Chain A
Amino acid sequence: MSTLASSGGTLAASGSGRLGRWGIQGATYALLSVGALMMVTPFLWMLITSFKPAPELVEFAWLPKSPTLANYERVLTTSNFTRWYFNSIVVALFSTTCVVLFDSLVGYTLCKFEFPGKNLIFLGMLATLMVPTEMLIIPWFDMSVRWSWNTGLAQYWGIAFPGVITAAGVFLMRQFFNGVPNDLLDAARMDGMSEIGIWAKIGVPLTLAAMAALAIFNFIGNWNAYLWPLIVASERAYYTLPVGLSFFRGESTTEWEKIMTAASLASVPLLCVFLVFQRYIIAGVALTGLKG
């Protein structure tokens, strides 16, 4: 609260009086605007290009002279884009559902139960955070080939399986369950509530905020995952959006209006999700980041 005013005031104090303060505020806004413009312009340019007919690309103009939806029509009808959307949604929803359920249940157990091997299990899970995904892709690929997770419908599982439980999420949920009083759980136990019931009806409702943050981050992460889906999905019909997009470029190297249309199609839905949930996403980053 007062931090904001004070650190603002401190720098302003070096200027001279009210005029200096106004000048510094103005400069702050000017600098931030230049930066924001650099962040936003690439997106705008992508969208603008996607509405331009091909001949307009060579001339420099901010707005399309004859805006068209033809690019969207062509991309959606001539590629597997709708299928890739579907795949990305399936994979992201499945992983996110699993993550939210399991990370919560495991975090809860590691926080609220006493049992032999507890610390070992917790450390064993945390230790996996030190292993980069890149080190696992070759063994995962080997497993996927051996168990046929890289053909047919099994590809959905093949793409999703690395992300169904996350050590970071378990850690986060465990931290949050620390804030749930044990007395509450014991009271429910006295009333004869089952252990599953206690977790689902008391633990979960009290940690919904953390679960929501976890869900949003996992959804975004899975939606944008690239290296592993690229490796494991062997059939075009099972590509996720980023993988499909990457192959799409290979097929239309110089047709920038089509590539920008495809990039818009891939990024706009998630940008909308972000805009709707921006408050929670940004708060969640600050929260999880500082805990880490």
Chain B
Amino acid sequence: MRLTLRQRQVLWAYAFLSVALVFFVIIRWYPALLSFNIAMRDWNTFKGSGPWVGLENYAAIWDDMWKPRSDVRAAFTNTLGYVLYGVPAQMVLALAVALLLDRIRVLSTLFRVAYFAPYVTSAVAVAFVWNWLYLPQTGLLAQVFDILRIPEQPFTKSPDQALASIVAVAVWQTLGYSVIIYLAGIKQIPATYYEAARIDGAAGARLFRHITLPLLNPVIVYLTVLSTISFLRLFALVQNMSPQGTGGPLKSTTTVVLEVYRKGFSSYDMGYAAALTVVLFFVILLITVVQLRFLTRRFEY
């Protein structure tokens, strides 16, 4: 039987897609649905099954949320803290660096490389380097503070400073990425807009407020969503910067993902851990949708 050209095309298309279809069904879709199922069970890791418990795992998370000293309550409040400190710091600092970088030509590449380098470095290595910098007495920061006569700070050793110390490292590590995206956005703004505004007598801060900022809006929205999600998923830095990787001191740095890891792979309470990941999924989904809706305003040019 001879196939028409169109039929042959269809066959080829499915042949080309076959591996990918199997992959997406087995490695992406099925596990995503399975995690909803596991979240409804008292899952036993070693048997790969468990009795159905309905919404009990979610109820347990809800209960734990209101217990003053529970891990999960700490995880959710800390994660909120990471986002609330980290995202604005990241957005503002990166924009400042991008605006400065946009104004120079000489050495511009060198600066870009310097700002971007931490982004390609393993978070584990970054965590250890900063543990060493933050170390009381012998750490570089302690020694520099000593020279400047600033009192020594405990950084990650104190429940009051640990979270902020980790936020600083996370911002340090991912700043370069945002800078590059901002820069690309800034370069896309037509020069004629600035020229026209200057003829109208606008200058400095007004140009920034009325041209740069509004035209950068899509970039800002994109980066805010991206950076929020990355702070919601914080794990490697916290695990490697807190004592014994448990999110201390006194649970002050633990995150939702760290609790997923600890509940699922240390206590083997997989059902509970899976329910936590489902909650995380909905939080990320909600934030993405809300941010896209509220931050994407349309501008008439």
Q: Could you list which residues of chain A lie within 8 angstroms of chain B, going by C-beta atoms?
A: 2-8, 10-11, 13-14, 25, 28-29, 31-32, 35-36, 38-43, 45-46, 49, 57-58, 60, 102, 105-106, 108-110, 113-116, 118, 121, 124-125, 128, 130-143, 145-146, 161-162, 164-165, 167, 170, 195, 199, 220, 223-224, 226-227, 230-231, 241-243, 245-246, 249, 256, 259-260, 262-263, 266-267, 270-271, 273-275, 278-279, 281-282, 285-287, 289-290, 292
Residue with the highest number of chain A CB atoms closer than 10 Å, among B23, B274, B280: B23
CB-based contact B35/A139 at 8 Å:
yes
> Contacts A146-B48, A226-B122 hold; do A278 and B113 have CB atoms under 8 A apart?
yes
List B103-128 residues whose CB lies under 8 Å from chain A.
Answer: 103-105, 107, 109-118, 120-126, 128
CB-based contact A29/B104 at 8 Å:
yes
CB-based contact B236/A161 at 8 Å:
no
How many residues in B have their beta carbons less than 8 Å from beta carbons of A?
108
By a CB distance below 8 angstroms, the chain A residues around B124 are 226, 242-243, 245-246, 263, 266
> Contacts A42-B130, A282-B116, A289-B181 hold; do A106 and B17 have CB atoms under 8 A apart?
yes
CB-based contact B204/A285 at 8 Å:
no
CB-based contact A131/B28 at 8 Å:
yes
Say which residue of B28, B181, B239, B270 sits within 8 Å of A128 (CB atoms): B28
CB-based contact B21/A132 at 8 Å:
no
Q: In the complex, how many angstroms separate the beta carbon of A43 from the nearest chain B beta carbon?
A: 7
Expressed in whole angstroms, the Cα–Cα distance for A159 and B267 within the complex equals: 22
Q: In the complex, how many angstroms separate the beta carbon of A113 from the nearest chain B beta carbon?
A: 4
List B192-217 residues whose CB lies under 8 Å from chain A.
Answer: 194-195, 198, 203-204, 207, 212
Interface of A is mostly: helix
Give the residue name and chain of the A residue nearest to B285 (CB). A130
By a CB distance below 8 angstroms, the chain B residues around A170 are 20
Q: In the complex, how many angstroms separate the beta carbon of A127 from the nearest chain B beta carbon?
A: 8
Given known contacts A46-B129, A124-B29, what 9 new A-B pairs fall within 8 Å (CB)? A29-B107, A115-B14, A226-B124, A226-B235, A227-B235, A260-B128, A274-B113, A274-B120, A285-B116
By a CB distance below 8 angstroms, the chain B residues around A41 are 140
- 8 CB contacts below 8 A, A to B, read A3-B187, A4-B103, A10-B204, A113-B9, A128-B28, A246-B245, A270-B120, A290-B184
Residue with the highest number of chain A CB atoms closer than 10 Å, among B31, B34, B130, B229: B31
Q: In the complex, how many angstroms separate the beta carbon of A263 from the nearest chain B beta carbon?
A: 4
List B150-184 residues whose CB lies under 8 Å from chain A.
Answer: 172, 175-177, 180-181, 183-184
> Contacts A36-B111, A39-B176, A271-B117 hold; do A138 and B32 have CB atoms under 8 A apart?
no
List B216-238 residues whose CB lies under 8 Å from chain A.
Answer: 219, 222, 229, 233, 235-236
CB-based contact A266/B122 at 8 Å:
yes
Q: In the complex, how many angstroms separate the beta carbon of A291 from the nearest chain B beta carbon?
A: 10
Q: In the complex, how many angstroms separate the beta carbon of A56 from the nearest chain B beta carbon?
A: 11
Expressed in whole angstroms, the Cα–Cα distance for A256 and B133 within the complex equals: 10
Q: Could you list which residues of chain B lie within 8 angstroms of chain A, going by C-beta atoms?
A: 6, 9-10, 12-14, 16-17, 19-21, 23-24, 27-32, 34-35, 38, 43, 45-46, 48, 97, 100-105, 107, 109-118, 120-126, 128-133, 135, 138, 140, 143, 146, 172, 175-177, 180-181, 183-191, 194-195, 198, 203-204, 207, 212, 219, 222, 229, 233, 235-236, 239-240, 245, 257, 260-261, 264-265, 270, 273-274, 277-278, 280-281, 284-285, 288
CB-based contact B23/A139 at 8 Å:
no
Q: In the complex, how many angstroms separate the beta carbon of B230 from the nearest chain A beta carbon?
A: 10
By a CB distance below 8 angstroms, the chain A residues around B24 are 124-125, 128, 165, 167
> Contacts A114-B9, A134-B277, A290-B184 hold; do A6 and B194 have CB atoms under 8 A apart?
yes
Give the residue name and chain of the B residue nearest to A62 (CB). B140
CB-based contact B117/A139 at 8 Å:
no
CB-based contact B114/A136 at 8 Å:
no
Give the residue name and chain of the A residue nearest to B283 (CB). A132
Expressed in whole angstroms, the Cα–Cα distance for A133 and B107 within the complex equals: 38
